Amino acid sequence: MNVVVFDLETTGLSPEKDGIVEIGAVRIVGNRIDETLKYETLVRPTTATGETIRIPWYAERVHGISDAMVRSAPTIDEVLPEFLEFVAGDAVVAHNIGFDGGFMRANARRLGLNWSPAAELCTVQLSRRAFPRERSHNLTMLAERLGLEFAPGGRHRSYGDVQVTAQAYLQLLQRLGQPA
């Protein structure tokens, strides 16, 4: 089974009220990250009625994505069908799948699409199993524990986070003695 590791950047924390501003993904084939099979796009966040959602200052401060950067980007209505085709039939992995999967489910439901990956796997949960004595399992701390580095400007940008999450996923499986 192939696995797609994905990450979202959003305007906030609510899948029902906030919008997606960036999607990044990479496919793992066997136990290898295949950088040629990647997905990366900015998204102009919109409401259910198609109105543009402004990116709040606090969200922009986290991921560095501004209204100007997404002004001419496609909307989730355009992007999600394409992304669902990219992940079709594969399992998906995210760091905190409840968050990213929640946004995918809410947007797919709103658009009458089906978010139904083969499985949803979470590197936060794997990290808790691999490092049960550690208190923090955020991506920065996990990367540090595993000796992984973010590309310059990569932290809190979807593709930068995806690259580290994919490496962490493979290392966590190895630590836990599970096949990729």
Asked if residue 180 belongs to a domain, the reply is no
pLDDT score for 180: 67
Comparing 33-42, 76-85, 89-98, 166-175, the range with the smallest average pLDDT is 33-42
- Residue ranges in 88-175 assigned as alpha helix (H): 97-110, 123-130, 139-146, 158-175
| pLDDT tens sequence across 7-45 | 999 999 999 999 999 999 999 998 899 988 899 999 999
Task: Calculate helix-pair angle for 158-175, 123-130, nearest 10 degrees.
Answer: 40
Q: Domain residues for 16?
A: 3-175
Does 151 score more than 90 pLDDT? no
Does 152 score more than 80 pLDDT? no
Domains contained in the chain, number: 1
| pLDDT tens sequence across 124-149 | 999 999 999 999 999 999 999 999 99
Read off the CATH number of the domain in which 103 is found. 3.30.420.10
Whether 163 contacts 157, CB under 8 Å: no
37: helix, strand or coil? strand
- Residues marked active site are found at 156
Torsion on CA atoms 9, 101, 145, 163, rounded to nearest 10: -60
